[in-house]
């Protein structure tokens, strides 16, 4: 009987099977780790902590990105209104902004920079603002 | 991001054990427990970060239809690159013990000799019937666990228990049994 088509010895076959078993099956994997002197409970704890930390980070980044998209959308609505490109009149916009952010000093919106508008919008419920802007 | 839901401590165990196994078998690394623990943790962590955070390793669906195969590929590749930088090289001699097919007859003889040698060694180390049967299946070319279980009518539990015992003996006898020499008489590690 020949060795298998890859011309490996039986020892190699055993090793390949071991590798396949520990890779595909968690029981074999944990057994192997234990045989090698690892504390499986400790390793699982480390893994869970790492995964949890990364999950928080990824979720926070996702929220930040989503918020950033909304902010730019709201800014776009404000700028379009200032140019008179929508039916959303500047006066309505001013009173909307003032109602959402009453601490803001009233002055000509047209003179505001993008960053100043963004700054005001940060105090605003963006989703609601965009919805209301769309309604008007 | 949705694939991140599949990353759990069970997958971690499988990746870590694979990493550990390859360190030993493929790269012949002999570090103490602490170093192996730190190293394997680092490799797996870095792979997960590369895929999900830095996004420097992207899942190519054509090459890896299955996400798990993709992550395994990244682990193997990252392990290889890291060890190469640390001057540990893959034991290439493992990859082919025999020369080309003109060794057919010699190959048969070497296989039979090795097979007998291993069988004898297993018996000396008190391998039971299940272990010997599994070994014989592999020697006969049945190399997938599913097929061996089917061939021998073993349950998963029976196979698992027998395999555990057999693989421990494999470690012991592995060093004492020499691999066959190739055509030019070069002995592989």
pLDDT computed for residue A56 by the predictor = 94
The 10 Å Cβ neighbour count of residue B101 is 9
What does each C-alpha distance from B125 to A3, B165, B173 come to in angstroms? Answer: 24, 10, 9
pLDDT digits (tens, 9 = 90+) for B98-129: 333 334 666 677 788 888 999 999 999 999 99
Q: Model confidence at B35, in pLDDT bands (50, 70, 90)?
A: very high
Residues of A in contact with B180 (CB under 8 A): 9
Average pLDDT over residues A60-64: 91
Contact A26 B163 (CB under 8 A): no
Per the confidence metrics, is the pTM higher than 0.80?
no
Given a cut of 90, whether residue B188 has pLDDT beyond it is: no
pLDDT computed for residue B52 by the predictor = 94
pLDDT computed for residue A129 by the predictor = 77
Average pLDDT, chain B: 84
**Which tokens sit at A86?**
């929508």
Give dist(CA B16, CA B32) in Å, integer. 16
Task: Compute the Cα dihedral for A55, A58, A63, A64 and give only its sign.
Answer: positive
User: What is the 8-class DSSP label of residue A111?
Assistant: G
DSSP chain B: -GGGGG--HHHHHHHHHHHHHHHHHTT-----HHHHHHHHHHHHHHHHHHHHTS--S---TTT-SSHHHHHHHHHHHHHHHHHHHTT----GGGG-SS-SGGGHHHHHHHHHHHHHHHHHHHHHTT--HHHHHHHHHHHTT---HHHHHHHHT--HHHHHHHHHHHHHHHHHHHTTSPPPP-TT-PPP-
Smallest CA–CA distance from B30 into chain A, residue: A36
Query: In chain B, where are the structural domains located?
Result: 2-92, 97-174
Q: Model confidence at B94, in pLDDT bands (50, 70, 90)?
A: very low
- What percent of chain A is helix, strand and coil (3-state, nearest 5)? 75, 0, 25
User: What is the 8-class DSSP label of residue A116?
Assistant: H
A37 to chain B, any CB pair closer than 8 A? The answer is: yes
Residue that is written with structure tokens 């391998």 in the block: B127
Q: Model confidence at B56, in pLDDT bands (50, 70, 90)?
A: very high
Q: Which of B10, B14, B17 to mutate to test the interface with A (most CBs of A within 10 A)?
A: B17
Give dist(CA B111, CA B48) in Å, integer. 41
Reading phi first (left if > 0) and then psi (alpha if -120 to 50, else beta), residue A7 is in left
**Which tokens sit at A88?**
């959303």
Percent share of chain A, pLDDT over 70: 73
Smallest CA–CA distance from A55 into chain B, residue: B4
Given a cut of 50, whether residue B51 has pLDDT beyond it is: yes
- Among A49-53, A61-65, A90-94, B82-86, the minimum mean pLDDT is found in A90-94
Give dist(CA B109, CA B105) in Å, integer. 6
């Amino acid at each position: 009987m020949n060795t298998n088509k890859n011309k490996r010895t039986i020892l190699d076959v055993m090793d390949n099977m071991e590798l396949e078993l520990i890779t595909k099956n968690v029981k074999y994997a944990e057994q192997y780790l234990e045989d090698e002197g690892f504390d499986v409970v400790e390793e699982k704890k480390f893994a869970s902590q790492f995964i949890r930390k990364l999950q928080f980070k990824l979720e926070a980044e996702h929220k930040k990105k989503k918020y950033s998209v909304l902010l730019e959308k709201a800014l776009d609505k404000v700028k379009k209104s200032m140019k008179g490109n929508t039916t959303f009149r500047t006066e309505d916009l001013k009173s909307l902004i003032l109602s959402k952010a009453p601490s803001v000093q009233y002055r000509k919106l047209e003179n505001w920079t993008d960053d100043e508008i963004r700054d005001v919008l940060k105090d605003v419920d963006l989703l609601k603002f965009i919805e209301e802007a769309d309604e008007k | 991001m949705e694939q991140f839901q599949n990353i759990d401590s069970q997958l971690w165990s499988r990746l870590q054990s694979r990493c550990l196994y390859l360190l030993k078998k493929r790269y012949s690394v002999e570090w103490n427990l602490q170093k192996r623990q730190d190293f394997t943790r680092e490799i797996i962590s870095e792979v997960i970060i590369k895929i999900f955070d830095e996004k420097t390793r992207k899942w190519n669906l054509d090459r890896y239809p299955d996400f798990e195969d993709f992550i395994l590929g990244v682990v193997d590749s990252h392990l290889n690159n890291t060890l190469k930088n640390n001057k540990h090289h893959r034991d290439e001699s493992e990859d082919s013990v025999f020369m080309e097919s003109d060794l057919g007859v010699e190959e048969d003889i070497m296989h039979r000799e090795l097979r007998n040698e291993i069988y004898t060694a297993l018996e000396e180390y008190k391998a039971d019937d299940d272990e010997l049967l599994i070994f014989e299946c592999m020697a006969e070319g049945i190399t997938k666990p599913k097929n061996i279980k089917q061939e021998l009518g073993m349950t998963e539990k029976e196979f698992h228990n027998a395999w555990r015992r057999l693989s421990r003996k494999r470690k012991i006898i592995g060093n004492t049994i020499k691999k066959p020499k190739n055509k030019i008489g070069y002995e592989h590690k």
